[in-house]
């Protein structure tokens, strides 16, 4: 059974205008998205800024009001519910390790916060748990009494992770966890996230704009554009057999690490751009949004127009 | 006349922190040729942006030593007014965040026109406007007449960066410095902007310094690459050589930190980049990041060695270096 | 922008209504009414009651309120108990005096604030900046009425550069040049006294705006374009820093009101502030009501003005 199932999720933000500030329209930040994540897997959610990828994560965890649709956690409907059990099992890691930790709190208090909210521990037990957590994220016991500014970006992100895993959650939503970090620090955090995944049997919903990292890190990937899915599939399907023009466009935009390929890359980009311009209406409806997903294999879904699919 | 457009010699740019001057750019020597893209790669705190700002004379409170020859003329101690004649005219710069780099209260047209007001005083208002619209077309902005009187916040990130580029190339500079020009942009926009910079470089035939932390961007764009660490160049080579046969331990470590095909685990460089104040100023600056190397592998005073024509590596530690998976967790 | 202004205007109305209700209720809560002072204590209480009924003084408060507001709309602010003339007549000439005093004060305030703020912001952390900041601290710490007294004593009595009271020399006829000059001369010292003290907040505000704007990325862009330092300051920094100052303008009116209340008293300047103090002391409540209403309305209009100015000068609001 899937640990997380999202069914036809819609999150709309009202646009207010006019003299009386009435809601005249909605921004459809998330517009009918469905997916499931299997226990222990890493699910990558990819999109550019404004695609709605972060809003999905925030909606699942209850930071954003869900307009319609359902979210099931372990088969239980958790849509817009803030039950203790759910909050314990679902945690989030944020993008910016500099602003997501309260600068006036010691590391001890930052990590202990979820513990204090959910578990009644004695002072001694609490300290012991935090020591264990710090060890797990590779920080010394002495770090406990320090403040966030005394740590580097990578270390701070690991403190954020320690806080997220303090309650032994089953699912972690990681919203661009390494985007603000330098390449070498990025590697450190990603490796570490993989290690604790094995150790604790974690499931990740990994939200990112960086296809290179997603390719390295995720099992299943979905591509989002303007609030809708354009394509969903396994890593191999997305990277080796992309079907939607937007996916192709994203893939062709990733800089190639081999300088000898640059002319080839340039030509591919030109070709994709041509296809994008010429066959735009095969891929997007009159509002410029993606069509609904159609399966082309058991795991591979693509947003295509009905008849285009039949032609294939 | 030689092909050298910019020649930086033993440049040292220091900032005052608490108790004294600390060099963020430390003894950098480097040339940029006409019609070439020189990539400068490094992580935050490496001094790559400080280097760019030094060339443009944009540091307001820094001590600069050494020489920067631009078209044969030393511009390190040139007067403010002479520098102003060159900036925006013979050399120009594109910045990382196009939203904050544009004046929020000035129309797009006025911001581009300003470069003409400053450097082409004989142009009439009409001529300026025509030229601005031509520029906006050139950088791929649709409806340039309309955008002319728009404000930065009305444009998307990609469009703003195009405006920045239009400002930079307005007077067809001989040297264009792009400081992380695509870091704040989405990948698809990044690709468009990079393609644009490449095309424009070919049209106006200028030398380009491309500063970035993204190795992929360098691989796609640069002709030559300088890798900087802790204020110094550690390796400099032709782009093909650098990616095929990197020598310096830092370059090699960095290349292995980036996700690539068939890689199970990413390489993690031991330790952290020291802050400007705590940079090791003696010996090999990368030594403490590769602690398993023997002290005798390093040079006492590491210099750049030319290992083959045009390929320079700092220190001797590259000779015995091999990547080691760093399992120890630091505090 | 128009939408914004109209919406802002719409909000202003309930504010004004609330203000008038508040003032009315406060006045009602005060002991005594229009008859208390007017009536001979020997008259039979029953007759007074009858009179009250006839004058409508026994009606519920909201009916009285509506009558009062209706009067205000027709320019009738009631009768002064003290002077037995309509409040409007009493206010008329004084409001003109206070208006000119305010204008003069505002001009001085900005004449002092803009150059000082600019210098202080541009050369921040130099001796020049420290002395300007020092002046602002002194300005914050000095009570206006003490400062005004000192000014009056030095420049009025001691040096005799300025007249020490009134709004115009008594013997002059309106319409002559001497009359106008005399009025200006009477304005200068009180206006300068307020300005010197109240400008300090604007100096500090402008200073911090400039220091802030100086570090913005687009300033680097301007330098990279080859703009000279003076152009960078005049075209980019000052322009962007003056925006919040311009928006602050409306709120200055509120501080002006407090300023004039003290100053007019000290300089025996016949304006609204002096009238306010006098009528409070004499329990002339219909006048107090009217003056407070006008002060309140001025403050609300000031805030409205601020928002409108901001919406005109800031394209980020203007274009919405």
Q: Alpha-carbon distance B224 to B241, whole Å?
A: 9
User: What would the two tokens of residue C270 be?
Assistant: 């016949």
C-beta separation of A100 from A160 below 8 A: yes
What is the b/e burial string over B20-48, where b = at least 16 CB atoms within 10 angstroms of the residue's CB? Answer: eebbbbbbbebbbbbebbbbbbbbebbbb
State how far residue C106 is from chain B, nearest Cα, in angstroms.
26
For A83, the domain range is 2-226
Interface test with C, best of A15, A17, A19, A24 (most C CBs within 10 A): A19
User: What would the two tokens of residue C201 be?
Assistant: 């907040």
Residue B329's pLDDT is 39
Contacts 24+ apart (CB under 8 A), C270-274: C270/C93, C270/C94, C270/C97, C270/C166, C270/C167, C271/C94, C271/C95, C271/C97, C271/C98, C271/C101, C271/C167, C272/C91, C272/C94, C272/C95, C272/C97, C272/C98, C273/C98, C274/C94
Where does C183-256 show beta strands of DSSP type E?
none
Q: Helix, strand or coil for residue C43?
A: coil
A212 belongs to a structural domain: yes
C-beta separation of A268 from A252 below 8 A: yes
Which residues of chain C lie closer than 8 angstroms to A16, CB-CB?
none
- DSSP conformational letter for A290: B
Residue C56's pLDDT is 64
At residue A154, does pLDDT exceed 70? yes
Report residue B172 CA to chain centroid gap.
19
Report residue C230 CA to chain centroid gap.
35
Q: How far is CA A50 from CA A16, B156, B160, C188, C268, in A?
A: 19, 11, 17, 58, 64
Residue B328's pLDDT is 43
Across A105-119, B128-142, C74-88, the highest mean pLDDT is recorded for B128-142
Of B100, B118, B164, the CB nearest to C226: B118
- The mean-pLDDT minimum among B239-243, B255-259, C53-57 falls in C53-57
**Domains and their CATH numbers in chain C:** 91-273 (1.10.3720.10)
CB atoms within 10 A of CB A76: 11
Task: Indicate yes or no: CB of B151 within 8 angstroms of CB of C319.
Answer: yes
H helices of A9-152, in order, are: 53-61, 84-89, 107-118, 123-136
Phi/psi at B233 (5° precision): -80, 125
A101 belongs to a structural domain: yes
- Nearest alpha carbon to residue A170 among A76, A67, A59, A47: A76
Q: What is the pLDDT confidence band of residue B223, given thresholds at 50, 70 and 90? A: very high
Residue B297's pLDDT is 86
Strands A2-17 and A68-73: antiparallel
A186 belongs to a structural domain: yes
A18 to chain C, any CB pair closer than 8 A? The answer is: yes
Q: What is the pLDDT confidence band of residue A15, given thresholds at 50, 70 and 90? A: confident
pLDDT, tens digit, for every residue of A144-153? 888 888 887 7
- Nearest alpha carbon to residue A239 among B274, B144, B262: B262
At residue B128, does pLDDT exceed 90? yes
Chain B residue with minimal CA distance to A235?
A: B261
Which residue is it, tokens 């208006």? C99
Sheet holding A220-225, edge to edge: A90-93, A171-175, A203-208, A42-46, A220-225, A228-234, A301-303, A293-295
CATH code, domain carrying A92: 3.40.50.300
The domain segmentation of chain B, as residue ranges, is 103-170
Of B97, B153, B167, the CB nearest to C225: B167
At residue B9, does pLDDT exceed 80? yes
Chain A residue with minimal CA distance to B251?
A: A184
* Ramachandran bin of B205, using left for φ above 0, alpha for ψ from -120 to 50, beta for the remaining angles: left
- The mean-pLDDT minimum among B188-197, B210-219, C150-159, C165-174 falls in C165-174
A48 belongs to a structural domain: yes
A94 belongs to a structural domain: yes
Into how many domains does chain A fold?
1
Chain B residue with minimal CA distance to C320?
A: B154
C123 to chain B, any CB pair closer than 8 A? The answer is: no
Residue A312's pLDDT is 46
pLDDT, tens digit, for every residue of A256-294? 889 999 889 889 999 999 999 888 888 888 888 888 888
Task: Indicate yes or no: CB of C6 within 8 angstroms of CB of A19.
Answer: yes
Give pLDDT tens digits along chain C (320 positions): 677 778 888 888 888 888 888 888 887 777 665 556 566 667 777 777 777 676 666 677 778 788 778 887 777 777 777 777 888 888 888 888 888 888 899 999 999 999 999 999 999 889 999 999 999 999 999 888 888 888 888 888 888 888 777 777 777 777 777 878 888 888 888 888 889 988 999 999 999 999 999 989 999 999 999 999 999 998 899 888 988 888 788 778 888 888 888 888 888 888 888 888 888 887 777 788 888 888 888 888 888 888 888 887 777 776 55
C-beta separation of A73 from A86 below 8 A: yes
How much is the average pLDDT of B302-326? 85
At residue A2, does pLDDT exceed 90? no
Please tell me which chains touch C, using 3 or more CB pairs under 8 Å as the contact test. Answer: A, B
Q: Alpha-carbon distance B62 to A90, whole Å?
A: 49
| Helix-strand-coil split of chain B, %, nearest 5 | 35, 25, 40
Q: How many CB pairs under 8 A join B and C?
A: 74
How much is the average pLDDT of B258-271? 80
Which residues of chain B lie closer than 8 angstroms to C314, CB-CB?
105
- The mean-pLDDT minimum among A241-255, B266-280, C91-105 falls in B266-280
Q: Alpha-carbon distance A92 to A174, whole Å?
A: 6
A11 belongs to a structural domain: yes
A15 belongs to a structural domain: yes
Q: Helix, strand or coil for residue A48?
A: coil
């Amino acid at each position: 059974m899937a640990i997380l199932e999202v069914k036809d999720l819609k999150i709309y933000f009202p646009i207010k205008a006019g003299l009386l500030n009435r809601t005249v329209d909605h921004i459809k930040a998330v517009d009918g998205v469905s997916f499931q994540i299997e226990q222990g897997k890493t699910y990558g959610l990819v999109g550019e800024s404004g695609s709605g990828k972060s809003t999905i994560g925030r909606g699942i965890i209850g930071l954003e009001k869900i307009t319609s649709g359902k979210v099931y956690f372990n088969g239980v409907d958790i849509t817009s519910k803030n039950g203790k059990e759910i909050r314990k099992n679902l945690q989030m890691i944020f993008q910016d390790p500099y602003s997501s930790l309260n600068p006036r709190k010691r590391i001890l208090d930052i990590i202990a916060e979820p513990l204090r909210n959910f578990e009644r521990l004695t002072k001694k037990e609490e300290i012991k748990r935090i020591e264990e957590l710090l060890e797990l994220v590779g920080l010394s016991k002495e770090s406990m009494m320090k403040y966030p500014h005394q740590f580097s970006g990578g270390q701070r992100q690991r403190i954020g992770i320690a806080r997220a895993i303090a309650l032994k959650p089953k699912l972690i939503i990681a919203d661009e966890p390494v985007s603000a970090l330098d390449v070498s620090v990025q590697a450190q955090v990603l490796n570490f996230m993989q290690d604790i995944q094995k150790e604790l049997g974690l499931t990740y919903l990994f939200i990112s704009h960086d296809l290179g990292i997603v390719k390295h890190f995720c099992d299943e990937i979905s591509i989002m554009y303007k609030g809708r899915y354009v394509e969903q599939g396994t890593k191999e399907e997305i990277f080796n057999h992309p079907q939607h023009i937007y996916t192709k466009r994203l893939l062709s935009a990733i800089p190639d690490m081999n300088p000898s390929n640059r002319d080839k890359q340039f030509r591919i980009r030109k070709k994709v751009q041509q296809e994008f311009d010429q066959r735009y209406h095969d891929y997007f409806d009159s509002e410029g949004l993606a069509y609904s997903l159609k399966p082309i294999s058991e795991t591979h879904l693509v947003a295509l127009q009905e008849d285009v699919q039949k032609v294939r | 006349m030689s092909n050298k457009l910019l020649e930086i010699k033993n440049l040292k740019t220091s900032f005052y922190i608490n108790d004294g001057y600390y060099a963020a750019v430390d003894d950098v020597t480097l040339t940029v040729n006409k019609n070439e893209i020189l990539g400068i790669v490094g992580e935050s705190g490496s001094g790559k942006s400080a280097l760019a700002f030094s060339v443009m004379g944009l540091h307001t409170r820094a001590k600069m030593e050494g020489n920067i020859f631009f078209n044969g003329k030393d511009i390190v101690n040139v007067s403010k007014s002479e520098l102003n004649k060159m900036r925006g005219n013979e050399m120009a710069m594109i910045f990382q965040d196009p939203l904050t780099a544009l004046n929020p209260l000035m129309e797009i047209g006025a911001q581009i026109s300003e470069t003409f007001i400053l450097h082409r005083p004989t142009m009439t208002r009409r001529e300026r406007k025509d030229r601005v619209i031509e520029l906006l077309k050139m950088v791929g902005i649709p409806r340039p007449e309309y955008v002319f009187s728009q404000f930065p916040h009305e444009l998307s990130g990609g469009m703003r960066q195009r405006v920045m580029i239009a400002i930079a190339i307005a007077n067809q500079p001989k040297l264009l410095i792009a400081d992380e020009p695509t870091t704040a942009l989405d990948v698809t926009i990044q690709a468009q902007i990079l393609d644009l910079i490449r095309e424009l470089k070919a049209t106006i035939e200028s030398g380009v310094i491309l500063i970035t932390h993204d190795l992929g961007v360098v691989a796609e764009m640069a002709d030559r690459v300088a890798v900087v660490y802790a204020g110094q160049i550690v390796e400099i080579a032709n782009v093909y050589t650098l990616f095929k046969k990197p020598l310096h331990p830092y370059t090699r470590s960095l290349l292995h930190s980036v996700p690539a095909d068939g890689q199970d685990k990413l390489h993690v460089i031991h330790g952290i980049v020291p802050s400007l104040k705590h940079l090791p100023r003696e010996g090999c600056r990368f030594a403490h990041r590769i602690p398993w190397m023997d002290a005798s592998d390093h040079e006492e005073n590491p210099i750049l060695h030319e290992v083959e024509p045009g390929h320079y590596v700092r220190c001797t530690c590259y000779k015995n270096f091999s990547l080691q998976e760093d399992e120890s967790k630091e505090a | 922008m128009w939408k914004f202004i109209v919406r802002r205007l719409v909000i202003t109305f309930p504010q004004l209504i609330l203000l008038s209700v508040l003032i009315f209720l406060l006045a009602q809560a005060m002991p005594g009414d229009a008859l208390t002072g007017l009536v001979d204590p020997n008259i039979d209480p029953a007759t007074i009651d009858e009179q009250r009924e006839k004058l409508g003084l026994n009606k519920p408060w909201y009916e009285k309120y509506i009558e009062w507001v209706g009067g205000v709309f027709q320019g009738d602010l009631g009768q002064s108990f003290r002077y037995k003339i309509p409040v409007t007549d009493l206010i008329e000439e004084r409001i003109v005096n206070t208006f000119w005093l305010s204008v003069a004060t505002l001009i001085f305030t900005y004449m002092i604030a803009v150059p000082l703020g600019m210098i202080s912001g541009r050369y921040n952390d130099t001796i020049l900046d420290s002395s300007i900041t020092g002046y602002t601290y002194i300005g914050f710490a000095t009570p206006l009425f003490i400062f005004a007294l000192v000014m009056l004593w030095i420049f009025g009595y001691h040096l005799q550069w300025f007249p020490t009271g009134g709004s115009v020399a008594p013997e002059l006829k309106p319409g002559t040049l001497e009359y106008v000059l005399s009025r200006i001369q009477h304005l200068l010292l009180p206006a300068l006294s307020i300005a010197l003290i109240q400008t300090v907040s604007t100096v500090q505000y402008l200073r911090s705006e400039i220091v802030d704007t100086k570090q913005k990325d687009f300033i680097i862009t301007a330098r990279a374009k080859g703009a000279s330092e003076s152009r960078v300051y005049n075209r980019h920094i000052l322009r962007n820093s003056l925006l919040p100052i311009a928006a602050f303008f409306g709120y200055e009116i509120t501080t002006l009101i407090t300023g004039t209340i003290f100053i007019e008293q000290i300089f025996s300047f016949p304006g609204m502030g002096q009238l306010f103090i006098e009528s409070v002391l004499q329990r002339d409540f219909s006048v107090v009501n009217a003056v407070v209403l006008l002060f309140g309305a001025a403050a609300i209009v000031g805030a409205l003005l601020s928002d409108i100015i901001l919406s005109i000068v800031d394209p980020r609001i203007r274009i919405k």
